[in-house]
Amino acid sequence: MSPSELANLELLAEVDSLTARLNDWSDRAPRWPAAQHAAALAHRLADRASHLRARLEAPLVVAMLGGTGTGKSTLVNALVGAEVTQAGRERPTTRRPTLICHTKHAPAEFGFAADMHVVQRELDTLRHFALVDCPDPDTTEDAAAGETNLARLRKLLPHCDVLIVTSTQQKYRSARVLAELASAAPGARLIFVQTHADSSDDIRKDWRAMLAPDYRVGEMFFVDSVAASERAESGLPPEGDFLRLLELLDSELAGTAAQRIRRANFLDLVADTLTACQTRLDQAMPPVAQLETALTEQRARVTARFVASLRDELLKSQRPWENRLLAEVTSRWGFSPFSLVLRAYAGLGGILSGWALFRARTPAQIALWGVFEGGRVLRRRQQDRSAEQTADRAVASTIEQDELRTAAIIVDGYATEAGLAVAVTEPDALARESRQAATAFIGSASAELDRSVSRLAERHAGWLIRWWYELLLGAMLAILLSRMAKNFFYDSWLAPQPTPVLGIDFYIAAGIWLWLWCTILVWAFTRRLRRGIQGEVTALAERCVKP
C-alpha cells in the first residue's frame, strides 16, 4: 500500500469517526432550544462530512468569488490557458455558475446540486483541480426559474475546497461580498487576488488590514487578468504574481496536498461550527444558571421544612427507636443483674400478660386476658411500624402545604425563561415528584437512623457504663442480702440474745426499695438512651439541611 493510499484510508477513518460522533451527539441532544439549534448545526456538519468523504478522490475544487466587474471570469480563462467562460464587457454579470474540469472527470464527482454550465477540456492545468466561476453575490438578478444569484452561490460554496477572492481598488470593501465570504470561509482555503493591476493602485496593504481581524490572510496577489489571459492564448509563459498564483494552484495545492487541504478545511469548519454551538449554548446559560439557583434555594427551603417536620415526628414517637436500642444494648451485654432488669423492663407487658393468664380461673377471665393480650400485640406492631409511619406523616404534613406549590410555581417560571419544557406545577406531577423525593429522603434517613442505633448501642454497651450500673444495682442487692443474712445467721442463731427472723413486712419493704432503685437506674439509663437518640436525630436533620 502506497503512502498516499494509507493517508487516504486514515482520512476516511477520521471522517467516519467524526461523523458518527456528531450524529450520536445530535440524536441525544436534550429538548432545549439552544441544544436543538446546536444539534441542527451538528447534523449539517455531518452532512458536510459525508460530502467530503464522497469527494476525496476528486480533484481540488477552486471557486472564484468576487463582486461584479472584478474580473473573475477573465482570471478563470487565464488560469486555464483558454477561453472557457464568457468575460469582458459583453457579459459583465455572472448569472449561471460554470464548472470547468478535465474530460476524465465527470461533473457528478464534485457533488454539486445546483444547475451549472459545465465545460470539459483536456488541458494539463485541469488535471489537478477544477474551477468554478461563481455567480456574483452583489447582484439580485433572477434566473429563469426564479432563483437568485445568492441562492445559487450558497449551494456551490460548501462543495469548494479553495476560494479565490477577487477584488479591485473600488470593490474590496463590498459589504455583500464580505458577508458571503464570512459564511463560506469556514471549510475553505482562502486566496486573495487583486485584479486590474494595469489600471489600479496596489491596495493589498489596506485590504490585508481590513481582513486580518477575521481571517488568516497569507500571501496576496496583484495580477492583470486580461494580460495574463492574452499571454496564455498567445502561448507565452506566465510571469509576475500570476505565475506565483498558478504555481500555488498547480503544485502546492494539487496532488496529495489536496487531501491535506480538505482535511484542514474540514477541521476548520468543525472548529467554527463547534464554536458557534458553544456560543449559542453560552448565551442561553444565564437563565439556566438562574433556574439552578432557584432550584437550590427552593430545595433548601422545602428540605428544611420537611426535615424539621420529620425530626419533630421522630422525637414525638421515639419509643420504637428506644426499644430497638435497648434490645441491642442488652443483647451486647449478655446476662448480668442489670441486663436482666433491662430485659424485664422491655418485656414488662409480657410479664403482666403471663401473670394474668396464670391467675385466670374462669372463661370470662380468660376472655379478658385475650382482649388484653390482643391489644398489647397490636400496640407492639404499631410501635414497630411507627418509624416508617412517622416519615409518612412528615411527608403528608409537609407536601400538602401551599409553600410547596409556591416553590413549584417559582421553579416553573425560571424553567420557562430558560426554554425548558417542564410541568412541575401540575397537581399530579407535583404530587408524584414530591412523593418520589420524599421516599428517597426517607430511605436515606432510615438507613442513617439504623446506623445511628448501632453507634449508640456500641457507645452505651461499653464496659465503663455497664459496670457503673452493675455496681449500683449490686450495691443495693448486697445491702439487702447482707441484712437478711445477718438476721438469719447471726441475729437469730449466734447472737447472745437471739432475735426473731425478719417477717414478711421486711421483705415487702425490701422489695419495694429494690423496685424503686431498679426504676431509678432504668430511668437514668433510658434517659441516656433518649438523649442519644435526640442528638442523633438532630444531627441527622442538620446534615440533611446542609447542601
pLDDT digits (tens, 9 = 90+) for 6-53: 766 776 777 778 778 888 888 888 888 888 888 888 888 787 777 666
Cell of 354: 403471663
Is-contact 366 392, C-beta < 8 A? no
pLDDT: is 252 or 79 the higher one?
79
Cβ atoms within 10 Å, residue 10: 12
Cell of 229: 489571459
Instruction: Locate all alpha helices (DSSP H) within 129-173, ordered by sequence.
Output: 149-156
**Cα gap 348→532, rounded to integer Å:** 23
Tell me the β-bridge partners of 192. 165, 220
Cell of 209: 488590514
Q: What residue has cell string 464554536?
A: 275
pLDDT digits (tens, 9 = 90+) for 108-143: 777 776 678 888 888 877 877 889 988 888 766 554
Cell of 142: 433572477
78 SS3 class: helix
pLDDT digits (tens, 9 = 90+) for 253-302: 665 566 666 667 777 778 888 888 888 888 888 888 888 888 778 777 77
Burial degree of 494 (CB within 10 A; 0-12, 13-18, 19+): exposed
**Cα gap 366→368, rounded to integer Å:** 5
85: which DSSP letter?
Answer: S
- pLDDT computed for residue 365 by the predictor: 45
- If you count DSSP H runs as helices and E runs as strands, how many of each does the chain have, helices first? 17, 7
Cβ atoms within 10 Å, residue 29: 17
Across the chain, mean pLDDT equals 75
Strands of 77-176, DSSP E: 98-102, 117-121, 129-133, 162-167
pLDDT digits (tens, 9 = 90+) for 159-215: 788 899 999 988 888 888 888 888 877 778 889 999 988 888 999 999 999 998 888
**Cα gap 340→473, rounded to integer Å:** 11
Distances 364 to 351, 357, 378, 429, 531 between C-alpha atoms, Å: 20, 12, 21, 56, 44
Phi, psi of 37 (to 5 degrees): -65, -45
- pLDDT computed for residue 260 by the predictor: 66
